[in-house]
Amino acid sequence: MYPWVYEAKYGLDHAWSELFVEKPHRTPAEEAALPEAERLDIMAQRNSFPELPLINYTTQYGLGCFEGLKAFPQADGSVKIFRPDENGKRMKRSMEGLRMPGFPVDMFVAGVTETVRRNLEAGFNVAYDPKWETDSFVNASAVYIRPFSYAEPGIGLGLSSYPWVIVGMTPVGSYFDPDASTAAITTDKLRATPGGTGWIKCNANYVTPILVKRWANDQGYMEAIFLDMNQKYIEEGSSCNIFFRMTDGTLVTPELGDTILPGINRASVLTLARDMGVKTEERKVAMDEVMANCVECFVTGTAAGVSYIESITHKGTKATFGNGSMGELSRELLVTLKGIQYGSRPDTHGWMFAV
């Protein structure tokens, strides 16, 4: 974790109070030179929040939500955040969906931006490397930002009326192992059920995907794909939205509903594809249709970016897309999105927020 953390608390006066907390730290170079035990001790102190209750509705029942977004180093030395306003909107919807006070979007954007700025001033940043452009930014680094809600004390089956919102951050690299298989396999497990919390970025929603993704990894696959309750239509990857380019050139992704998370990168990729003149469709996508007619497949998400899927195995049958390597559209969408995020392509939609 980086040393500066943001805390907001909803009080009895029905208003949010804010606090920026500076955790123990030295300079990044000094910390890197420390003996491992001392370095780990500083990390542990940074991840300690004694002011927050251990026993509450979040820790006991998963009654909480979170966001994931990134700050990207630019070639000119500046840092910009990708679409924090959209993450703020989704965070507010998620909190209200869990029947807790929604965190205001303007406070979300300001809190995230200021926390990034304070960590930059303390020397904690990711330096831009021009070599990242040579492989389409696949191995580039960024600052991952994790806002999350946290409930007040409680052990009964209750709702959170006076939550905290915490924002921490850490440097990250590639989400998927660039040297590993890019194959996927379907699972008969369910990520979400109709009428539930699948549309909310809710803590509890991630238990099954974590278990299923590890199962898929143990079988030699990069990703697991969830289907609907009838095991007919595709919903999501283990932690990301999914896209298919069909034989007629149309880019298709499952339509949003209460079982699918409305991804920020999902919406961005749809916009970029339309900018390129690609026909897009948001609709139900049958597994049988994909196995027969798909020529490119990729997943999107804050962590995944745009990551291609070389093949899908479904009920023992394997469909390989193209020649098993990244397709032309997948690569162009990857290069365009990453180019906007890292500043090598123009941000025509105003998605990047300066720190």
Assign 113 to helix, strand or coil. helix
Contact between 334 and 327 under an 8 Å Cβ cutoff? The reply is no
Residue 118 token pair: 């304070």
**DSSP for 47-63, written as a single string:** T--TTS-SSBHHHHH--
Active site residue 201: yes
Per the listing, tokens 């020529």 go with 295
Query: What are the φ/ψ torsions at residue 257 (nearest 5 degrees)?
Result: -165, -165
Q: Where are the alpha helices (DSSP H) in 122-263?
A: 207-218
Any idea what the Cα angle at residue 199 is, between residues 98 and 313, rounded to 5°?
140
**Helix, strand, coil tally for the chain in percent (to 5):** 30, 30, 40
Q: What is the dihedral of CA 67, 68, 74, 80, to 10 degrees?
A: 0
Assign 142 to helix, strand or coil. strand
Distance CA 112, CA 254 (A): 30
Residue 244 token pair: 């298919």
Provide the β-strand partners of residue 71: 81, 143
Per the listing, tokens 């991952």 go with 144
Residue 203 token pair: 């803590």
Helix (H), strand (E) at residue 169? strand 164-172
Which of 80, 92, 201, 338 is an active site residue? 201
DSSP code of residue 130: G
Distance CA 196, CA 256 (A): 14
Contact between 319 and 311 under an 8 Å Cβ cutoff? The reply is yes
Report, as residue numbers or ranges, the catalytic residues.
Answer: 201
